[in-house]
Amino acid sequence: MSFREAARDALADSQMRANVRRATRTIGMRRAAAVAEVPDWEELRHAGASIKEATLRHLDVHLQRFESALQQAGGVVHWALDAQQACEIVLDIVRAERATEVIKVKSLTTDEIQLNEALSRAGVSAIETDLAEMIVQLAGDRQSHILVPAIHRNRAEIADLFRQRLGIEDVDDDPRSLTAAAREHLRERLLSVPVAISGANFAIAETGTVCIVESEGNGRMCTTLPRTLITVMGIEKLLPRWQDLGVMLQLLPRSATGERMSPYTSLWTGVTPGDGPQSFHVVLLDAGRTDALADPVGRQSLRCIRCSACLNVCPVYERTGGQAYESIYPGPIGAILAPQLSRLERNGDLPDASTLCGACYEVCPVRIDIPEVLVHLRGRRVRERRVGAGERLAMRALAATFARRESYEAAQRAAQIGRGPLRHAFWPGPLAAWRQSRDLPEVPAQSFRDWWRQR
């Protein structure tokens, strides 16, 4: 289903729109308050953008450094060209451990490659331990937000879901009650399942260190209790040096949750005998990232640190929610990231899901100029698609009209004559659909050129 079709259905769901509007505005206000506390916020944004851009320019060097450092620390590095290869690598590791269950930290990258589905087909159950991801999994639903995947559901809906799927009758819609029910459901699995899978917020090339930030503590348990840990990360998540992480850990929590710092920031480097997982694997995922890297304009989308600040200010996302994007990456960043990672022809209408108001650029902690990339991708789509003979003829006629002042002025005079009849005329075929959502601009009775000549 295209975004246009899915958005039409989403707009008809008033409860979903109310849930999303309430949540995004609350998170947005918290972010604004947290950012206002930092006097050098704009300098931090520039620093974050510079770090990410410099990393992307020499990504091959940093990837090799990361691999070498991680291997020296006892970890194992795997390279995956695409989603299928990444899933096969993870499955091989899980089979070697003879595990039938794995516990998971919230990870957009594993959702991107549809790892849960691949594990399920192989007879392995993937247990989501993040509360929102657990809600989505129990409901057989799809994520609708980068930070809060179940943002489209309210507390009453979640309580009903827990009663139906978990059989916990005494749960109500109080947040403490919902959290206690989730803890009761997950605690035994966290203590007994031998393999865990995580994503990565950042990784440090010089030391081979991996970092995740989260708010519930489930990530800390998943990365310390199992005997085997697998991290699946996009190749763009690297930072060159430790001091670069200091900048990002100021930008991310304020932009994501409106907090000064995340409640849990977990960092680990390789394997430590007798402490934590004794087998650690990192799967470095390409899956379209090097193609995006080759695009001088589009490559800036790889700076994204998945904070979701752009979603919380987007007027389109607020009305359609995230599921209409038909991508694991919704909102403004999804509109530029998804078409580049999974080919423009598959998500060609996503760059149109924007008013180009620029609010997303203003809040992006790493200064991704999303409107610029949106316009760039719109242009690419037009250049790459096959244009019909009628449209090609119309564009040539328009170009010829605009090429000479005399013909341009003649067209202006013709528009003045037909401005009344054209506004109310019947428009046939594709023009009728175009007119359904657009009003023709009012053509002035006198052009500027005529006005100037008279004076």
Per-residue pLDDT of the chain (455 residues; tens, 9 = 90+): 788 888 888 898 898 899 899 999 999 999 999 999 999 999 999 999 999 999 999 999 999 999 999 999 999 999 999 999 999 999 999 999 999 999 999 999 999 999 999 999 999 999 999 988 999 998 888 888 998 888 888 889 899 888 888 888 888 888 888 888 888 888 888 899 999 999 999 999 999 999 999 999 999 999 999 999 999 999 999 999 999 999 999 999 999 999 999 999 999 999 999 999 999 999 999 999 999 999 999 999 999 999 999 999 999 999 999 999 988 999 999 999 999 998 777 778 899 999 999 999 999 999 999 999 999 999 988 887 766 777 788 888 889 999 999 999 888 888 777 666 666 556 666 666 666 666 667 778 888 888 998 99
Measured CA to CA, the distance from residue 347 to residue 4 in angstroms comes to: 11
The three-class DSSP label of residue 5 is: helix
Which among 159, 190, 161 has a CA at the least distance from the CA of 176? 159
- In this prediction, residue 291 carries a pLDDT of 94
DSSP 388: P
Contact 166, 131 (CB under 8 A): no
Measured CA to CA, the distance from residue 43 to residue 49 in angstroms comes to: 10
Measured CA to CA, the distance from residue 205 to residue 414 in angstroms comes to: 64
378-391: buried (b, 16+ CB within 10 Å) or exposed (e) per residue?
bebbeeeeeeeeee
Measured CA to CA, the distance from residue 382 to residue 401 in angstroms comes to: 21
Strands 279-285 and 228-234: parallel
Q: How far is CA 449 from CA 66, 141, 444, in A?
A: 63, 58, 12
The three-class DSSP label of residue 89 is: helix
SS3 string, 265-327, reads EEEEECCECCECCCEEEEEEECCCHHHHHCCCCHHHHHHCCCCCCCHHHCHHHHHHCCHHHCC
Which among 315, 313, 307, 105 has a CA at the least distance from the CA of 220? 105
> Is CATH 2.60.40.10 correct for 57-287?
no
Query: Residue 404, exposed/middle/buried by CB under 10 A (0-12, 13-18, 19+)?
Result: exposed
Contact 67, 77 (CB under 8 A): yes
Contact 17, 319 (CB under 8 A): yes
**H helix runs in 140-241, sequence order:** 155-166, 175-192, 218-222
Q: How is domain 290-384 classified at the architecture level of CATH?
A: Orthogonal Bundle (1.10)
Q: What angle do CA 356, 153, 212 make, to 5 degrees?
A: 75
Measured CA to CA, the distance from residue 232 to residue 283 in angstroms comes to: 5
- The number of angstroms, rounded, from the C-alpha of 227 to the middle of its chain's C-alpha atoms is 31
Measured CA to CA, the distance from residue 49 to residue 71 in angstroms comes to: 29
Which among 331, 337, 263 has a CA at the least distance from the CA of 295? 337
Measured CA to CA, the distance from residue 194 to residue 277 in angstroms comes to: 9
The three-class DSSP label of residue 130 is: coil
The three-class DSSP label of residue 197 is: strand
- The number of angstroms, rounded, from the C-alpha of 41 to the middle of its chain's C-alpha atoms is 23
- In this prediction, residue 121 carries a pLDDT of 96
Model pTM? 0.85
Measured CA to CA, the distance from residue 238 to residue 62 in angstroms comes to: 7
The residue type of 66 is F
Measured CA to CA, the distance from residue 143 to residue 330 in angstroms comes to: 9
Domain boundaries in the chain? 57-287, 290-384, 389-448
